[in-house]
């Protein structure tokens, strides 16, 4: 027969431990990714001016926005449908 060396069992244990650690880390990453995707589903942020959704017209909404006050020229108005 073949004689096993005393370190053969230790080598198998180290390899098994490394594989178990890698699998554990992958499972943790998967859980974190699924949780993140579930919590952030369908959310997005826009750069629209705050409070303009209740304005009676586009002109009023632009006039009330402090960031666009100097950018609006009364003679050059464009409307996009």
* pLDDT tens digits, one per residue of 3-59: 566 677 788 999 999 999 999 999 999 999 999 988 877 766 666 656 556 666 666
Spatial distance between the Cα atoms of 34 and 40, rounded to a whole number of angstroms: 10
pTM of the prediction? 0.44
Q: Is 15 inside any structural domain?
A: yes
Q: Which range of residues forms the domain containing residue 7?
A: 1-43
Q: Is 74 inside any structural domain?
A: no
59 and 77 Cβ atoms separated by less than 8 Å: yes
Q: How many domains does the chain have?
A: 1
Q: Is 1 inside any structural domain?
A: yes
């Amino acid at each position: 027969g073949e004689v096993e060396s005393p370190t053969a069992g230790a080598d198998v244990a180290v390899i098994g431990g490394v594989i178990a650690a890698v699998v554990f880390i992958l499972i943790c990453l998967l859980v974190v990714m699924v949780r993140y995707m579930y919590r952030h589903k369908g959310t997005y942020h826009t750069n629209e001016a705050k409070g303009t959704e209740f304005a009676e017209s586009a002109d009023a909404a632009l006039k009330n926005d402090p960031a666009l006050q100097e950018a609006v020229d009364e003679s050059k108005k464009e409307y996009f449908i």
